[in-house]
Amino acid sequence: MVEFETLKDLIKLAKERKCKIGEIVWEYEAEVEGVSKEFVWNKMVKHWDVMKRSIENGLKENFELPCKIAKRYAKKFLKGKKFFLDDFMSKVVARALAVSEYNSAMGLVCAAPTAGSSGVIPAVIYSAAEKLNTSEREVILGLFTASGIGLIIANKASIAGSEAGCQAEVGAAAAMAAGALVELANGKPEQVDHAVAITLKSIMGLICDPVAGLVISPCIKRNAFGAVLAFLSAEMALTGVESLIPADEVIEAMDSVGRLMHPDLKETARGGIATTPTGERIREKVFKEGSLEPK
Amino acid sequence: MKRVESIFEIIGPIMVGPSSSHTAGAVRIGRIAREILGGKPVKATILFHGSFAETYRGHGSDKAVVGGILGFSTDDLRIRDALEIAEKEGLEIEFKTVDLGEEYHPNTIKIVLEDSSGLKVWIVGSSIGGGNIIVTEVNGFEADISGDYHALITIHEDKPGMVAKITAILAKYGINIARMKVSRVKRGALAFSSIEVDQEIPLEVVHEVEKVEGIKLVRALKPI
Ligand code: SF4
């Protein structure tokens, strides 16, 4: 029986068996649900298909955000002249924006770990696989790695903005993606730990403050930020940069920070940018005039 | 806090955006109302409480609940056009906002459904995060339905031995009970039970329970 409570457990198992973390998580899921490994694999492939389609649709499909205050930027960003980011990073950002925009407009997405943070993992994994020429098998294993990390975060801390702020949504998504990146690049299991720790430390305490309570601002752009952060942490870990604090302890810290966080900063839209003068004005416009009817 | 076991609660569900709680959760609550009604509704009154009352339009919760009432699942793109589809199907809908009181979860919906025979079902359900829901009231009875399991719902006369008879039928078919809730409004009048089980409930079970004297309503729900 494959059992793990912490990232340390997962890493130990992977080292003992000389395999990837993703393979352990794959086996765990089959056991815990009492189904075949093949069934689990095919289910993940289906989830990956939805992720890929959400990138495509987010860049292509003709849709509007369900709010006149917000525009779509994914395509514009992709085409715009860049001063600092290279082609690769620009694509990562555009793809994260695309999925998040598509999500806001009631598109079909795969929550990862939530709908609000659903842009990070598709953008990161898709772009990395494209660059490294990764086989589909390795990509799916990477998604298992990511979900194993997410499972630990969910049970030791939270993956809900209403419980622990955005560190638990975009933060968790970025940590999951960073860990998967390390495995896609054939890094060591310990490097997964460092990548997760570095990510969560960087985003520790991020509040959830959606303007007018809608999954638009700051959510969409935060997905792009989460995607970039995942590459940054993974690259650091892969070059041998280590986190002083192990990931499991960072996750515990994230949990206690989430508990200390004032309810106004946890999805209630009663703090942060939601209550800035502009944020309040948008809320009023949206709700009093009912100008929000999605097209 | 509920322990997450399956990784597909982390990567997944596949759903129509934008919000796990305000969209996917709303679909599931609507769907449970429909399943308890048991047939095609002709009239739906949807009351949004708390945060739902403030943000239901922006999150598409209105379309999501109606989608659920139409029988759609969380990943059905027809949710986007649920209001138009409802109109075409002759389902009359009324949206209202309501203050149910402090003791209710901020993301709570009350749904009243009616079919063409005049059968009326009303439920109160809360979306408690990540697409998870809990239905806390059915026709005024206290309930506890998560939508994660197969469940047998009954409304019956409040007299000794009723629940034992129902669980005996489940046992006869080898069905294992996971969670159970029994409640009543007034002693000796009507009572309600929701029994969440591990296996799919065959139609035979429903028919057998229906035959128990004093049973007013039986429904077998599937995980949603
Ligand atoms: S700000 Fe809140 S709603 Fe938006 S992505 Fe972050 S946690 Fe989700």
Query: What would the two tokens of residue B170 be?
Result: 């489940």
Tell me the CA–centroid distance for residue A166 and ligand 1, in Å.
Answer: 5
pLDDT, average across residues A108-132: 97
With the most atoms of ligand 1 within 8 angstroms of its CB, the residue from A162, A166, A264, A275 to mutate is: A166
- What is the rounded average pLDDT for all residues in chain B? 92
- ipTM summary value: 0.94
Q: What is the pLDDT of residues B129-171, one digit of tens each?
A: 778 899 999 999 999 999 989 999 999 999 999 999 999 999 9
Task: Please check whether residue A27 touches B, CB under 8 A.
Answer: no
Q: Within a domain: residue A20?
A: yes
Among the listed ranges A7-21, A180-194, A215-229, B127-141, which one has the minimum average pLDDT value? B127-141
Q: How far away is chain A from the Cα of B72, in angstroms, using its nearest Cα?
A: 14
In A73-132, the residues whose Cβ lies within 8 Å of chain B are 102-116, 118, 121
Whole-angstrom Cα Rg for chain A: 19
Q: Within a domain: residue A294?
A: no
Query: What CA–CA distance (Å, rounded) separates A238 from B143?
Result: 51
Nearest CA in chain A to B9: A113
Mutate to test the interface with A, among B2, B19, B127 (most CBs of A within 10 A): B19
- In a 3-state reduction of DSSP, which class is residue B211? helix
Q: Within a domain: residue A136?
A: yes
Q: How would you classify the pairing of strands B41-50 and B92-98?
A: parallel
Q: Within a domain: residue A272?
A: yes
Q: What is the pLDDT of residue A162?
A: 86
Q: Please state, in angstroms and as integers, the Cα–Cα distance from residue B145 to each residue in A107, B62, B114, B177, following that order.
A: 28, 21, 20, 13
B7-139 in CATH: which number? 3.30.1330.90
Q: Does residue B202 have a cis bond before it (omega within 30 degrees)?
A: no
Question: Cβ B7–A28 below 8 Å, yes or no?
Answer: yes
Domain limits, chain B = 7-139, 150-221
Q: How would you classify the pairing of strands B120-129 and B132-138?
A: antiparallel
Fold of B150-221: Alpha-Beta Plaits (3.30.70)
Task: Please check whether residue B77 touches A, CB under 8 A.
Answer: yes
**B66 contacts: CB under 8 Å, gap ≥ 6:** B30, B44, B46, B82, B83, B86, B91, B93
In A49-68, the residues whose Cβ lies within 8 Å of chain B are 50, 66-67
Question: Cβ A159–B10 below 8 Å, yes or no?
Answer: yes
Question: Cβ A110–B55 below 8 Å, yes or no?
Answer: no
| Residue A291 predicted with pLDDT over 80 | no
Burial code (b: 16+ CB inside 10 Å, e: under 16) for A76-111 equals ebbeeeeeeeeeeebbbbbbbbbbbbbbbbbbbbbb
Q: What is the pLDDT of residue B1?
A: 52
B214 and B164 Cβ atoms separated by less than 8 Å = no
Q: Within a domain: residue A234?
A: yes
Nearest CA in chain A to B75: A108
Query: What CA–CA distance (Å, rounded) separates A6 from A23?
Result: 16
Among the listed ranges B46-50, B150-154, B208-212, which one has the minimum average pLDDT value? B46-50
Pocket of ligand 1 (CB under 6 A): A 116-117, 161, 166, 169-170, 208-210, 215, 218-219, 222, 267
Partner-chain residue, chosen from A67, A111, A121, that has the shortest CB–CB distance to B58: A67
Mutate to test the interface with B, among A48, A102, A151 (most CBs of B within 10 A): A151
Which residue, judged by its Cα, is nearest atom 6 of ligand 1?
A: A166
Q: What is the pLDDT of residues B87-140, one digit of tens each?
A: 999 999 999 989 998 889 888 999 999 999 999 999 999 988 778 899 999 999
Q: What is the pLDDT of residues B5-35, one digit of tens each?
A: 899 999 999 999 999 888 999 999 999 999 9
Q: Please state, in angstroms and as integers, the Cα–Cα distance from residue A42 to each residue in A35, A45, A56, A128, B42, following that order.
A: 12, 5, 21, 21, 39
**A78 contacts: CB under 8 Å, gap ≥ 6:** A59, A90, A91, A94
Partner-chain residue, chosen from B13, B57, B130, that has the shortest CB–CB distance to A160: B130
Q: What is the pLDDT of residue A1?
A: 86
CA angle B116, B118, B121 (to 5 degrees): 105
Burial code (b: 16+ CB inside 10 Å, e: under 16) for B114-141 equals beeeeeebbbbbbbbbbbbbbbbbbbeb
**B187 contacts: CB under 8 Å, gap ≥ 6:** B158
Nearest to A116 by CA among A269, A259, A257, A258: A269
Nearest to A143 by CA among A196, A100, A183: A183
Whole-structure pTM value = 0.90
Among the listed ranges A215-219, A285-289, B157-161, which one has the minimum average pLDDT value? A285-289
The DSSP secondary structure of A87-148, one letter per residue, reads: HHHHHHHHHHHHHHHHHHTT-EEE-SS-STTTTHHHHHHHHHHHHHT--HHHHHHHHHHHHH
Q: Is A9 exposed, middle or buried (0-12, 13-18, 19+ CB in 10 A)?
A: middle
Question: Cβ A159–B12 below 8 Å, yes or no?
Answer: no
Query: What CA–CA distance (Å, rounded) separates B158 from B45?
Result: 29
Q: Sheet of B150-157: strands edge to edge?
A: B177-184, B190-197, B150-157, B215-221
Q: What is the pLDDT of residue A288?
A: 66
Partner-chain residue, chosen from B3, B14, B79, that has the shortest CB–CB distance to A110: B14
- What is the rounded average pLDDT for all residues in chain A? 94
Q: Domain limits at A36?
A: 7-288
First-to-last C-alpha distance (Å) of chain A: 50
Q: Where does residue B17 fall: left (phi above 0), alpha (psi -120 to 50 degrees), or beta otherwise?
A: beta
Tell me the CA–centroid distance for residue A217 and ligand 1, in Å.
Answer: 8
Say which residue, B224 or A222, is predicted with more confidence: A222
**Number of structural domains in chain A:** 1
Tell me the CA–centroid distance for residue A218 and ligand 1, in Å.
Answer: 7
Q: How far away is chain B from the Cα of A171, in angstroms, using its nearest Cα?
A: 14
Instruction: Give me the CATH number covering residue A61.
Output: 1.10.4100
| Residue A93 predicted with pLDDT over 70 | yes
Question: Cβ B58–A213 below 8 Å, yes or no?
Answer: yes
Q: Please state, in angstroms and as integers, the Cα–Cα distance from residue A109 to each residue in A101, A189, A231, B14, B168, following that order.
A: 11, 29, 22, 6, 43
Question: Cβ A215–B59 below 8 Å, yes or no?
Answer: yes
Percent of chain A with pLDDT over 90: 86
Q: How far away is chain A from the Cα of B14, in angstroms, using its nearest Cα?
A: 4
